[in-house]
Amino acid sequence: MADPIVVTADVRVPASALTVHAARASGPGGQNVNKVSTKIDLRVDLPAIEGLLDDARARLSRLAQNRLDADGRLVIISQVTRNQARNLEDARARVAELIRAALVVPRRRVKTRPSAGAKRRRLAGKKRRADVKRLRARPDDGD
């Protein structure tokens, strides 16, 4: 059984929420890649994560929406190294990083208005451009 993933002092992923499956990796590696299962497929049951507040859980669902399987579990696949243990550590670190990102409360956007000077400069630029285009036009037939 895998160890729990401790994200912070309050938030952790229990071992019961983790499913680890090893498979043969793709890519370079010679004959080794054909006989050794080094790729790690780590699945995390999101509702089982302990200590996660509702708003953080919603942010995590939004962050992980493209990485969910049919059962709603987070899927992390790691095959960066030729070593199964290091791939498992990489996958666990990526899960912790994703949860840490969900714990960060986004700052609220403060509405601002353009200054009077900025409005003047913008309108002056538009006026200059209009004058350039007007001077390019064919002169009217003034009788």
Q: What is the pLDDT of residues 37-95, one digit of tens each?
A: 888 999 999 888 888 889 998 999 999 889 888 888 999 999 888 888 999 999 999 99
Query: Does 111 map to a domain?
Result: no
Query: Does 50 map to a domain?
Result: yes
Q: How far apart are CA 62 and CA 71, in angstroms?
A: 16
Query: pTM for this structure?
Result: 0.71
Query: Does 134 map to a domain?
Result: no
Mean pLDDT, rounded, for 26-32: 73
- Domain with 40, as residue range(s), is 5-103
Q: Give the CATH number for residue 23.
A: 3.30.160.20
Number of domains in the chain: 1
Does the pLDDT value for residue 121 go beyond 90?
yes
Would you say the C-alpha torsion 80, 61, 105, 55 has a positive or negative sign?
negative
Query: Does 135 map to a domain?
Result: no
Query: Does 138 map to a domain?
Result: no
User: Bigger pLDDT: 128 or 13?
Assistant: 128
Query: Does 90 map to a domain?
Result: yes
